[in-house]
Amino acid sequence: MNWSALTLSLQVTAVATITLFVIGLALGVLLARYRLPGQIIIETAIFLPLVLPPSVIGYLLLLVLGRGSPIVEWFHVRLLFTWQSAAIASAVVGLPLMVQSARAAIASVDHVLENAARTLGSSELEILWRVTLPLARRGVIAGLILGAARALGEFGATLMVAGNIPGQTQTLPLAIYDAVQAQRYEQARIMVIVMTSVAFVGLWCVRQLELPQYHRKVDLR
pLDDT at residue 57, as a whole number: 94
Below-70 pLDDT ranges, the chain:
212-221
Residue type, 218: V
pLDDT at residue 220, as a whole number: 44
Whole-model pTM: value is: 0.88
Long-range contacts of 62-70 (CB under 8 A, 24+ apart): 62/160, 62/161, 65/161
pLDDT at residue 212, as a whole number: 61
Domain parsing of the chain, residue ranges: 3-220
Sorted by sequence, the CB contacts under 8 Å of residue 29 that are 6+ apart come out as 102, 106, 128, 132
* CATH of region 3-220, choose from 1.10.3720.10, 3.90.79.10, 3.40.50.10320, 3.40.980.10: 1.10.3720.10
